[in-house]
Structure 1
Amino acid sequence: MNFLEERILKDGVVREGNVLKVDSFLNHQIDISLLEQIGAEFKKRFDGEKITKILTIEASGIGIACIVARYFNVPVLFAKKTQSINVDGDKYSTDVESFTHGCTNHVFVSKKYLCSSDKVLIIDDFLARGSALLGLTELVRQAGAEVVGIGIAIEKGFQDGGRIIREKGFHLESIAIVESMDSSKGTITFRD
């Protein structure tokens, strides 16, 4: 059992509807020491790749992406969900369905910050159905850049997102893969 699986068992909460709450340490209140371990693990798993940019989607992936970016000494770019007066110029955009929020978001990145020469490592906190990752890979495709890998903190292995992403040929690394959860018993099992 790895460090993240241990932390999920210690502080994670299973809710009905296949919801795993890790907001006490990963995506609301953030344990920076844990993020450092996650960053070091992704550095180990993607060490041979020539990465020029880390890409994530707002908001929960940003903290993890920032720590990972320190290990690779590259900038973080995050796909925005809302237009603001600070975002000008041309954009790459796509629609992404959110499992957690039960809605579709129109996400975008500025063309100024993603170009065809970029070698992109996509980072996110969760992988369930794969919609966010497919949206992020679409933004990279629109830019003519290359996805060199995808790093996920927690993958729900009992949902089809990981299979979909792997079948598309992406190098996907998940630190913890949840095999099953039972909200009535509060139990979680992990894939070996």
Structure 2
Amino acid sequence: MEVLKQRILEEGVVLSDQVLKLDALLNHQVDPILTMEMGREFAGRFADAGVTRVVTVESSGIAVAFATALEMKVPLVFARRKKTLLADPDALCERVPSFTKGIVTDIMLSRQYISADDKVLFIDDIIANGDAARGLIKIIQRSGAELVGLGVVVEKCFQAGARTIREQGIRLESLVRITSLEDGKVVFGE
């Protein structure tokens, strides 16, 4: 997606050779037009997969996952990161570290919203080390649902997350692949 690459170059902030801040378009502020374009792109890429649900992890993946679910005309379900008083005591849970937040959290998905009959498309904003993605994949597998693929807006190719997901035989589609953030420059891959 050339428009996404251009926006990353214009609005992304390279904080280190490992961290790209995309608050202006993904993680704090959301551009609805760009987000809908990303949703259409994912929906097109996975159009033949028979998707019955789109899933994501709160919170940064929700906007793009919503746009994808809307295009596919299926429900969106997001895994929560915090337990509430109303949390399902029988929820599927997994403990995962967060690369950007520097903490470990539990992600939870209610069994009420995912079943063995589902074909699930997992949409996320960025894949770096892939810990949250692997955690949600474990939850999806334990639910009995079929994971048809993972769509990520930004794949950081210099970190192991996407590679480890693909090594599990999971289809992973990236809208943008970044091969380096060295010297404060975003370098895109094919």
* Alignment TM-score > 0.5, same fold: yes
| 1:127-166 matches, cutoff 5 A | 127-166=127-166
| 1:22-171 matches, cutoff 5 A | 22-171=22-171
Gaps of 5+ in 1: none
Moved over 3 A (4+): none
User: 2:16·2:181 contact (CA, 8 Å) conserved in 1?
Assistant: no
Q: Which residue of 1 aligns with 2:186?
A: 188
* Aligned AA (2:168): K
Note the aligned Cα RMSD (angstroms).
1.1
TM-superposed CA distance for 1:123, in Å, is: 0.4
- TM-score normalised by the chain length of structure 2: 0.96
Aligned to 2:170, the other structure's residue is in SS state: coil
Q: Which residue of 1 aligns with 2:6?
A: 6
* Aligned AA (2:189): R
- Alignment of 1:172 with 2:175, yes or no, is no
Task: Provide the C-alpha distance between the structure 2 equivalents of 1:8 and 1:29, rounded to a whole number of angstroms.
Answer: 13
Percentage of pairs with the same residue: 41
TM-superposed CA distance for 1:107, in Å, is: 1.0
User: 2:17·2:184 contact (CA, 8 Å) conserved in 1?
Assistant: no
Task: Provide the C-alpha distance between the structure 1 equivalents of 2:88 and 2:145, rounded to a whole number of angstroms.
Answer: 21
Task: Provide the C-alpha distance between the structure 1 equivalents of 2:3 and 2:47, rounded to a whole number of angstroms.
Answer: 20
Aligned to 2:82, the other structure's residue is in SS state: coil
TM-superposed CA distance for 1:151, in Å, is: 0.3
TM-superposed CA distance for 1:87, in Å, is: 2.1
* Aligned AA (1:92): L
Query: Whose helix proportion is higher, 1 or 2?
Result: 2
* Aligned AA (1:2): E
Task: Provide the C-alpha distance between the structure 2 equivalents of 1:146 and 1:3, rounded to a whole number of angstroms.
Answer: 32
Task: Provide the C-alpha distance between the structure 2 equivalents of 1:153 and 1:60, rounded to a whole number of angstroms.
Answer: 11
TM-superposed CA distance for 1:89, in Å, is: 4.2
Q: Deviations over 1:29-55 (max 9, x none)?
A: 100111011011101211111001111
Task: Provide the C-alpha distance between the structure 1 equivalents of 2:89 and 2:163, rounded to a whole number of angstroms.
Answer: 36
Task: Provide the C-alpha distance between the structure 1 equivalents of 2:158 and 2:23, rounded to a whole number of angstroms.
Answer: 21
User: 2:126·2:154 contact (CA, 8 Å) conserved in 1?
Assistant: yes
* Aligned AA (2:132): A
Task: Provide the C-alpha distance between the structure 2 equivalents of 1:12 and 1:181, rounded to a whole number of angstroms.
Answer: 11
User: 2:16·2:184 contact (CA, 8 Å) conserved in 1?
Assistant: no
